């Protein structure tokens, strides 16, 4: 597959704008760079390296990004708002965007933009000889910075009651590119722990989609299975993530082992 390894986020944006169903997953355990290669060859469009719940070293993340870009799989990284260096480090390593969990306020959103966008939109430090430039200093650094601001994805995760209450304003923040619904934690915030499929969560999803449409941003969601993913897709979600590679392995391993034992 032909692709520009450093502009996969822009390709993802364009495909979403064309109405294409885009499928992703969250990687929170497996560290081999062959995992994203497998995902890309299987047809996934993007994946999120989960540094919120996973245990990845800086080198792990960098190697996973290399594996992803080799097959045109758009690599994103979920990193905490409390780790400003983590945001710039992962973007410099070639990540095509970041997902920031537990957003609560407009100030949170503005801080994320400040840390992930180059001036004049943000205050991200400029380092031009690293993986995100393929170690080749751009001929026009100013244009390069603008292109990065236009393409790389700054994604806010909507999973708190506070964020849901101001979701339209969050979507309107200049420099925010997408909102991602986290059904598990949002269900907890709504007093519905263990019920990510509750109708109130789907109502929240509709509100998020409407806010994104109004501001011209992408709407995304993290789900646990294909059936639920399809429901969210029907609501208008642009980017739909399903499960995790570790979960895929555990499920399929159980099916295979059970099938063999039952046949004996």
Spatial distance between the Cα atoms of 96 and 151, rounded to a whole number of angstroms? 8
What pLDDT is recorded for position 150? 94
Look at residue 134 and tell me if it is in a domain.
yes
Tokens 């993802």 belong to residue: 12
Read off the CATH number of the domain in which 144 is found.
Answer: 3.20.20.60
What pLDDT is recorded for position 264? 63
Across the range 181-210, mean pLDDT stands at 96
CB-based contact 102:157 (threshold 8 Å): yes
pLDDT at 120 over 80: yes
Look at residue 208 and tell me if it is in a domain.
yes
Look at residue 3 and tell me if it is in a domain.
no
Spatial distance between the Cα atoms of 131 and 114, rounded to a whole number of angstroms? 21
Using the Cα atoms of residue 249, residue 253, residue 254 and residue 256 in order, give the sign of their dihedral.
positive
pLDDT tens per residue across span 49-75 = 999 999 999 999 999 999 999 999 999
Across the range 116-141, mean pLDDT stands at 87
pTM listed for this prediction: 0.94
What's the pLDDT band for 3 if we cut at 50, 70, 90? very low
User: Is 198 a catalytic site residue?
Assistant: no
Residue from 53, 127, 132, 198 carrying the catalytic annotation: 53
Look at residue 110 and tell me if it is in a domain.
yes
Spatial distance between the Cα atoms of 176 and 154, rounded to a whole number of angstroms? 5
Residues near 172 by beta carbon (within 8 Å), at least 6 away in sequence: 211, 214, 215
Look at residue 113 and tell me if it is in a domain.
yes
Report the chain's mean pLDDT, rounded to a whole number. Answer: 93
Spatial distance between the Cα atoms of 216 and 113, rounded to a whole number of angstroms? 16
Look at residue 2 and tell me if it is in a domain.
no
Question: The domain containing residue 192 runs over which residues?
Answer: 8-263
Please name every residue paired with 24 in a beta bridge, in sequence order, or none if there are none: 46, 241
Distances (CA, A) of 30 to 87, 172, 188, 208: 21, 35, 27, 31
pLDDT at 6 over 60: no
Least Cα distance to 175 among 110, 220, 97, 87 occurs for: 110
Q: What share of the chain is helix, strand, coil (3-state, %, to 5)?
A: 50, 15, 35
Look at residue 166 and tell me if it is in a domain.
yes
pLDDT tens per residue across span 133-169 = 778 788 888 998 999 999 999 999 999 999 999 999 9
What pLDDT is recorded for position 133? 77
Helix (H) or strand (E) holding 143: helix 141-151
Residues near 183 by beta carbon (within 8 Å), at least 6 away in sequence: 196, 197, 201, 205, 221, 222, 223
Number of H helices, E strands in the chain: 12, 8
Look at residue 201 and tell me if it is in a domain.
yes
Q: What is the number of domains present in the chain?
A: 1
């Amino acid at each position: 597959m032909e692709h520009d390894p450093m502009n996969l986020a822009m390709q993802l944006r364009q495909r979403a704008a064309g109405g294409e169903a885009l499928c992703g997953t969250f990687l929170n355990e497996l560290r081999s760079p062959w995992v994203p290669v497998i995902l890309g060859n299987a047809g996934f469009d993007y994946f999120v390296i989960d540094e919120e719940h996973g245990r990845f070293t800086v080198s792990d993340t960098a190697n996973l990004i290399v594996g992803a870009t080799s097959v045109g799989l758009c690599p994103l990284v979920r990193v905490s708002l409390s780790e400003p260096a983590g945001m710039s480090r992962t973007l410099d390593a070639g990540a095509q965007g970041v997902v920031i969990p537990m957003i609560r306020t407009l100030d949170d959103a503005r801080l994320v933009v400040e840390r992930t966008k180059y001036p004049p939109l943000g205050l991200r430090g400029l380092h031009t000889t690293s993986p995100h430039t393929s170690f080749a200093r751009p001929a026009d650094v100013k244009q390069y910075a603008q292109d990065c601001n236009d393409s790389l994805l700054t994604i806010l995760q909507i999973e708190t009651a506070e964020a849901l209450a101001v979701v339209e304003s969050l979507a309107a923040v200049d420099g925010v590119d997408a909102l991602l619904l986290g059904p598990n934690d949002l269900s907890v915030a709504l007093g519905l722990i263990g019920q990510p499929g509750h109708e109130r969560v789907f109502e929240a999803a509709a509100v998020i989609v409407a806010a994104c449409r109004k501001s011209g941003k992408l709407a995304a969601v993290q789900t646990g299975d294909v059936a639920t993913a399809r429901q969210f897709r029907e609501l208008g979600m642009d980017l739909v993530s399903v499960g995790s590679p570790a979960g895929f392995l555990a499920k399929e391993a159980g099916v295979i082992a059970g099938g063999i034992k039952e046949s004996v």
